[in-house]
Chains A and B, each alone.
Chain A
Amino acid sequence: MKVFRYLIKRLLIALITLYIIATATFFLLALTPGDALSARVEKLPDQVTERLYEKYGLDKPVMERYLITMKGLLHGDFGESIIYEGQTVQDIIAEKGPVSARLGLQQMILGVGVGLLLGILAAVKKGKFWDYFVVVLAILLISVPNLIFALLLQMVFAARLKWFPVIGWPSAGQWFSGWKYTVLPTLAGCFGYIAAYSRLLKASMLDVMNQDYVLTAESKGLTHREVILHHVLRNSMIPIITRLPMTVAMCITGSFFIESVFSIPGLGLYYVNAVAAQDVPIVMGETVIIAALYIFVVFITDILYTIVDPRIRISGGKR
């Protein structure tokens, strides 16, 4: 029953959080000078302007708009885009989501994979050349922001050497075609993961290697390889597994900078444009959906902790 009560409590907190985020977003948008239509109606006659404002409900007072928006949110209806006529948030996420998700997943698979391998290498060869190599590499990769990586890769491999297209993204068959377009953005984004995951796994493995059960395994006469694979690696995966959901969530929501550098029509770039154009329904919708995703992921992470490490109990309530 404890678990059940815990779940209910988490759900309630999540709903309150979402409500606060939606409210904050709404009023921030309302506070912003100008509105989505002001650029468009400049040259239109007054009557048309009035009709346009009426159509999107922008003529009503702020509080009334707030109530309408909140009612819509309850039904999962975020409203229609003001900039792109007829498009709803759901349409846009269905259209842009896969683009960001593909880019993010490619970055993640490459980055996490390489990062974990380097982490194992550094832990196994502690104090030797490869250890220092990984340490230095990680600090270099962390220090160069992915925005700079993206620009440099674009400059060298696309503009100079012309190996890959400078900007763009495959339009048809979104998941597997046009790999040439995806190489540079994927590379630019994966370095951060390599650095983060190699550090995380190395620290975790060194921690596990100091445990008594590893000493026991060693003294039983198991080979070094056996101990690393079965005793150390398994137990040092806990921080990795619990970190992964957040990485996946960040992948799906897209990377603003890389999408902007390579003009990739993903969620991140779209969101920036929507904020700049004050497209209220779209910004509200995306913010709430992304926040919901984050909250869900944090919840999954907490559950994962108790599954992969039975020493942690839910009732403790501590992360």
Chain B
Amino acid sequence: MSDYQPASTSRILTPAESRRVDWQQLNAEKINRPVITYWQGARRWLLKNPIAVFAMILLLVLILLILIGPGLSGAEYIKINAAAKNTAPNAIYWFGTDTLGRDLWSRVWIGARLSLLIALACSAIKLVVGCAYGGIMAYFGGKVDLIMMRIIEILDSFPYLLITLLIMMVIGKNVAGLLTAMCLTSWVSTARQVRGQLMQLRESEYVQASQMLGANPAHIIIKHLLPNTVSILILDLCSSIPDYIFTEASLSFLGMGLSGDVISLGVLISDGKAKMQFYPFQLLFPAAVLCIAVLAFNMLGDGLRDALDPRTIE
């Protein structure tokens, strides 16, 4: 009996750690296995997941290319080269050139840089506002909670894209307009989640037990409320970043996003669409980078969902 090992425990612990203890040495109070924290456990599960590891490598490569990519090819992204218009990909222009003879490789990475920055900024705003709003709702409860919930319900009923378009018209087709438009209603889902999680945690037995044992509020917040909420926020971040990248691209594509000399993936896709029948590579490269970025975030998010929620581990 003693050398029987269930598959699931041997996957997160080394065989030595997960060994069964002989009943003769049994001491019910003693914990025989090393205690690992929540985050250690999450990291273990994440690294055991090949898809998540692949996603992380993909993301690292993407970020590296976004940082140093434009300089690699030696061609400048704004330099107009009239002699090399619409060149197919070759040794000098790795992704070819656009209609004005500008190097597409460096333009794609510059564009991806802006797209990712916008997505990160939006996600940060969404998280901060959502946490504050949700936290206040859960903390005060009662009437405050009720009124703030009504406001959320009203915001939820706004047709998202329509409001986004209107805001872009008012503020203008620039980065500030885009940030406002995309953040105005999207923090609502974060606030809902944070509120729900906090309410649930407050009622949970282990928090009550902790209170009974005389833990002070700071301990409860740091030890119980925060870790369980942070996991939700990380997941939220992983799903909202690709959403924002996509929304930015779509708005720019409709001609309602960024305009002027600004380069983003959406602007590049929109430019590429105009010439797609003759020079499909001008559309394919920015589109591929967008899809790979979104895919990487989605795969990482899926891996994190399993790793951060121990209840899904079977």
A-side interface residues toward B, CB under 8 Å?
13, 16-17, 20-21, 24-25, 28-29, 31-32, 139-140, 142-145, 147-148, 151-152, 154-155, 159, 253, 256-257, 260-261, 271-272, 275-276, 278, 283, 286-287, 290-291, 294-295, 298
**In the bound complex, do residue A143 and residue B298 qualify as a contact, i.e. CB atoms below 8 Å apart?**
yes
Contact of B157 among A25, A261, A283, A291 (CB under 8 A): A291
**In the bound complex, do residue A287 and residue B159 qualify as a contact, i.e. CB atoms below 8 Å apart?**
yes
Q: Is B40 an interface residue (CB 8 A)?
A: no
**In the bound complex, do residue B169 and residue A151 qualify as a contact, i.e. CB atoms below 8 Å apart?**
no
Interface window among B113-121, B122-130, B245-253: B245-253
**In the bound complex, do residue B162 and residue A151 qualify as a contact, i.e. CB atoms below 8 Å apart?**
no
Main secondary structure of the interface of A (DSSP, over half): helix
Most buried by A among B154, B158, B159, B165: B159
How many chain-B residues does the 8 Å CB contact rule pick out? 37
Instruction: Give the chain B neighbours of A154 by CB distance below 8 A.
Output: 276
Chain A nearest CB, measured from B194 CB (Å): 17
Given contacts A142-B298, A148-B291, A155-B277, contact A276 B256 (CB under 8 A): yes
Given contacts A32-B170, A143-B291, A145-B290, contact A151 B153 (CB under 8 A): no
Q: Can you report 10 A-B residue pairs in the complex whose CB atoms are below 8 A from each other? A: A16-B154, A17-B154, A151-B269, A155-B283, A256-B250, A271-B165, A275-B256, A287-B159, A290-B159, A291-B158
**In the bound complex, do residue A257 and residue B256 qualify as a contact, i.e. CB atoms below 8 Å apart?**
no
Given contacts A145-B249, A260-B254, contact A31 B170 (CB under 8 A): yes
CA distance A48 to B148 in the complex (A): 50
Given contacts A148-B287, A155-B277, contact A276 B255 (CB under 8 A): yes
**In the bound complex, do residue A278 and residue B169 qualify as a contact, i.e. CB atoms below 8 Å apart?**
yes
**In the bound complex, do residue B250 and residue A147 qualify as a contact, i.e. CB atoms below 8 Å apart?**
yes
Closest to B169 in A: A32
Closest to B298 in A: A143
**In the bound complex, do residue B298 and residue A139 qualify as a contact, i.e. CB atoms below 8 Å apart?**
yes
Instruction: Give the chain A neighbours of B249 by CB distance below 8 A.
Output: 145, 147
Closest to A28 in B: B166
**In the bound complex, do residue B290 and residue A148 qualify as a contact, i.e. CB atoms below 8 Å apart?**
yes
Q: Is B295 an interface residue (CB 8 A)?
A: yes
CA distance A276 to B156 in the complex (A): 24
CA distance A140 to B253 in the complex (A): 22
CA distance A261 to B254 in the complex (A): 9
Instruction: Give the chain B neighbours of A152 by CB distance below 8 A.
Output: 287
CA distance A207 to B159 in the complex (A): 32
**In the bound complex, do residue A291 and residue B159 qualify as a contact, i.e. CB atoms below 8 Å apart?**
yes
Main secondary structure of the interface of B (DSSP, over half): helix
**In the bound complex, do residue B298 and residue A151 qualify as a contact, i.e. CB atoms below 8 Å apart?**
no
Chain B nearest CB, measured from A2 CB (Å): 18
CA distance A151 to B150 in the complex (A): 40
Instruction: Give the chain A neighbours of B290 by CB distance below 8 A.
Output: 145, 148
Instruction: Give the chain A neighbours of B246 by CB distance below 8 A.
Output: 145, 147
Closest to A25 in B: B166
Given contacts A257-B250, A276-B256, contact A298 B162 (CB under 8 A): no
Closest to B156 in A: A298
Instruction: Give the chain A neighbours of B166 by CB distance below 8 A.
Output: 25, 28-29, 32, 275, 283
Most buried by B among A253, A276, A278: A276
Q: Is B242 an interface residue (CB 8 A)?
A: yes
CA distance A291 to B250 in the complex (A): 21
**In the bound complex, do residue A13 and residue B150 qualify as a contact, i.e. CB atoms below 8 Å apart?**
yes
CA distance A256 to B246 in the complex (A): 13
Closest to A147 in B: B250
**In the bound complex, do residue B159 and residue A151 qualify as a contact, i.e. CB atoms below 8 Å apart?**
no
**In the bound complex, do residue A21 and residue B291 qualify as a contact, i.e. CB atoms below 8 Å apart?**
no
**In the bound complex, do residue A145 and residue B277 qualify as a contact, i.e. CB atoms below 8 Å apart?**
no
**In the bound complex, do residue A294 and residue B157 qualify as a contact, i.e. CB atoms below 8 Å apart?**
yes
Chain B nearest CB, measured from A70 CB (Å): 17
Chain A nearest CB, measured from B57 CB (Å): 16
Contact of A28 among B170, B250, B255 (CB under 8 A): B170
Instruction: Give the chain B neighbours of A16 by CB distance below 8 A.
Output: 154
Q: Is B53 an interface residue (CB 8 A)?
A: no
**In the bound complex, do residue B254 and residue A257 qualify as a contact, i.e. CB atoms below 8 Å apart?**
yes
Per the 8 Å Cβ criterion, residues 280-314 of B in contact with A are: 280, 283, 287, 290-291, 294-295, 298-299, 302
Given contacts A155-B276, A159-B277, contact A290 B162 (CB under 8 A): yes
Chain A nearest CB, measured from B314 CB (Å): 10
Closest to A249 in B: B159
Closest 6 A/B residue pairs (Cβ): A143-B295, A28-B166, A143-B294, A145-B246, A32-B169, A275-B165
Given contacts A143-B295, A257-B254, A272-B165, contact A298 B277 (CB under 8 A): no
Q: Is B273 an interface residue (CB 8 A)?
A: yes
Given contacts A275-B165, A276-B256, contact A155 B280 (CB under 8 A): yes
